[in-house]
Amino acid sequence: MTDPAASRSTGYSAWRLIAEELRAEITEGGLRAGDRLPTENALAERFGVNRHTARQAVASLAADGLVESRRGSGTFVTGGAVHVHRIGMRTRLSTSIGDRHSASGRVLESETVTASPEIAERLGIAGGPVVRVESLRTVDGEPVALGAHWFDAGRLPDIATALRRTSSVTAALRAHGIDDYVRASTVVSARHATAAEAALLRLDPGAIVLVTESLDTLTDGTPLQYGVTRFSAQRVRLDIEHPPPPA
Amino acid sequence: MTDPAASRSTGYSAWRLIAEELRAEITEGGLRAGDRLPTENALAERFGVNRHTARQAVASLAADGLVESRRGSGTFVTGGAVHVHRIGMRTRLSTSIGDRHSASGRVLESETVTASPEIAERLGIAGGPVVRVESLRTVDGEPVALGAHWFDAGRLPDIATALRRTSSVTAALRAHGIDDYVRASTVVSARHATAAEAALLRLDPGAIVLVTESLDTLTDGTPLQYGVTRFSAQRVRLDIEHPPPPA
């Protein structure tokens, strides 16, 4: 890494740059669960900073649950903080992150609004009322994903009530007589969390969200649900499902 | 947005928080290409900051190519800076980002190394030499993706030379008699760019990379290429290909 001190003038602190280097090594497998992190002295020497700065970097990784101190024996990579969300033809947030016991979802708010031109286009409707639902998904009490969902209010007038009752899109759609739906499109991007997102997902300023914009349809292609889900990038990875080769 | 000034003590500046809010609106379509950005005065009022801070936020969006000033008429969303990389069964970086004329790839370095246990496992080999290639992909002269690729040196001894000559994995594999390969797995995550990545991708400190870890195989499932690609999150979105519904 090139002189981290040089970046101070941009408002981006040296400890943060060091934490990023270490985070990259942890998330990409150079440092694995159970591995011991170099000591603060070794990190300070490696990155050319003082020990206080190295300690700050390690503390920020600990705050994210990526490493943990064990009294008298050092700091170790936990590897336990990252959940995998599988994206495929039958993507179901409710069964994909965490198991049934540890994961839960709840509706934060819902409202019926007039469709913006963009939402109307995605839902394949001329306009009119749509139901917008905001939801928060937690695993082991830790927030992992913030969802915004849009449904055609003409087709699914009671979807918000069903979602509040069942905490599951799949179950709420079943209550409307819809037994199956498929993922038609998913676009993935990443950006810094907004202040509102950081508050709900309990993230530090500067934390990252992975954003999926997705459309679910009936098996005949009729649009059913447009969604924008923001995953905490430090807690979630997306596993893309590919069809088996034709062979 | 809640008091951005309150975040100053964390080293995360108010202008950056405002830039993130606006970036989120642009990338998720609330503000679209050609839309006029609110004036600095309007932004200052909306976010409760002074005009200088609002100007800094807009300047950082301009530096990323997301907005541009037009003399006398204001600042507008360009929408031209984001490329889409399609991920599906037949993912080809060389044809997916940019068209043939504007995009190019080049090998930064290559070496033959002993496989780490992790790389050996992914490539389905017991160990032995692997070829590691680092590549950089640009569109219109702008770097968009940094790739690390691993190949079994026993199977593909000349892959690095072929990659340097052809600048395309598809063409380099064809030179080895491999006419077809398929994507077996893709895992997507996001994190801050390391200093080295930021330098190569020409990103500011604190910028984000979308990371794909992927395995390509022959159509019979034999592992061929393991890759870790880091995309500039401000320039690239990933479009996941889903199979058509069974209908």
Q: ipTM for the complex?
A: 0.75
Whether B245 maps to a domain, the answer reads: no
A32 and A112 share one domain: no
Q: Residue B10 sits in which domain range?
A: 4-77
For testing contact with chain B, the best of A188, A212, A230, A235 (most B CBs within 10 A): A188
| CA–CA gap between residue A189 and residue B174 (Å, rounded) | 32
Domain final residue pick, A55, A77, A99: A77
Whether B160 maps to a domain, the answer reads: yes
Q: Out of A188, A195, A209, name the one closest to residue B238 (CB).
A: A188
| CA–CA gap between residue A107 and residue B161 (Å, rounded) | 55
What separation, in Å, do the N-terminal and C-terminal C-alpha atoms of chain A show? 45
> How far is residue B113 from each of residues A21, A65, B127, B129, measured CA to CA in Å?
23, 33, 10, 5
Whether A246 maps to a domain, the answer reads: no
| CA–CA gap between residue A176 and residue A156 (Å, rounded) | 7
B87 and B72 share one domain: no
For A118-154, write each residue's pLDDT tens digit: 889 899 999 889 999 999 998 878 899 999 999 999 9
A92 and A68 share one domain: no
| CA–CA gap between residue A70 and residue A43 (Å, rounded) | 18
| CA–CA gap between residue B29 and residue B32 (Å, rounded) | 5
A183 and A206 share one domain: yes
Residue A224: partners with Cβ closer than 8 Å, 6 or more residues away: A151, A152, A155, A156, A173, A178, A181, A216, A217, A218
A72 and A89 share one domain: no
B190 and B88 share one domain: yes
- B153 close to B130: Cβ distance less than 8 angstroms: yes
Whether B246 maps to a domain, the answer reads: no
User: Nearest Cα to B22, choosing from B69, B51, B58?
Assistant: B58
Domain final residue pick, A77, A103, A131: A77
User: What is the residue-level pLDDT of chain B in tens, covering all 247 positions?
Assistant: 344 444 333 445 788 888 888 888 877 667 777 788 999 999 999 988 899 899 989 988 877 667 877 767 788 887 555 777 888 777 666 555 555 556 678 899 999 999 988 889 899 999 889 999 999 998 878 899 999 999 999 999 899 999 888 878 888 888 889 988 888 899 999 988 888 899 999 987 778 999 999 999 998 889 999 999 999 998 898 998 887 766 5
* Nearest-neighbour CA in chain B from A64: distance (Å): 13
Whether A247 maps to a domain, the answer reads: no
Say yes or no: B10 contacts chain A, CB-CB below 8 A: yes
Domain final residue pick, B41, B60, B77: B77
- Counted across chains A and B, CB pairs separated by less than 8 A come out at 177
User: Nearest Cα to B223, choosing from B136, B134, B139, B115?
Assistant: B115
Confidence of residue A6 (pLDDT cuts 50, 70, 90): very low
User: Nearest Cα to A133, choosing from A173, A164, A178, A177?
Assistant: A164
B198 and B101 share one domain: yes
- B85 close to B238: Cβ distance less than 8 angstroms: yes
Q: Count CB atoms within 10 A of the CB of residue A92.
A: 15
A73 and A109 share one domain: no
Geometric angle at alpha carbon A131, from A127 and A135, rounded to 5°: 140
DSSP-derived 3-state class of residue A240: strand
CATH number for the domain spanning A18: value is 1.10.10.10
User: Nearest Cα to B186, choosing from B206, B163, B215?
Assistant: B215
A72 and A88 share one domain: no
B112 and B16 share one domain: no
Whether A140 maps to a domain, the answer reads: yes
Number of residues written out for chain A: 247
- Residues from chain B contacting residue A190 (CB–CB below 8 Å): 190, 208-210, 233
A30 and A144 share one domain: no
Q: Out of B17, B195, B237, name the one closest to residue A189 (CB).
A: B237
Contact map slice: A 16-45 vs B, CB within 8 A? 16-17, 20-21, 23-24, 27-29
| CA–CA gap between residue B203 and residue B211 (Å, rounded) | 15
Whether A121 maps to a domain, the answer reads: yes
- Residues from chain A contacting residue B8 (CB–CB below 8 Å): none
CATH number for the domain spanning B96: value is 3.40.1410.10
The alpha carbon of B171 is separated from its chain's Cα centroid by a whole number of angstroms, namely 22
Whether A222 maps to a domain, the answer reads: yes
* Nearest-neighbour CA in chain A from B2: distance (Å): 7
* Contact call for B192 and A13, based on CB within 8 A: no
Q: Out of A1, A88, A239, name the one closest to residue B196 (CB).
A: A1
Structure tokens at B132: 């590691």
A62 and A159 share one domain: no
Q: How many domains does chain A have?
A: 2
| CA–CA gap between residue A105 and residue A164 (Å, rounded) | 9
pLDDT at A8 over 50: no
Structure tokens at A170: 């799949």
| CA–CA gap between residue B76 and residue A60 (Å, rounded) | 37
Q: B184-217 burial, b if ≥16 CB within 10 A, otherwise e?
A: bebbbbbbbbbbebbeebebebbbbbbbbbbbbb
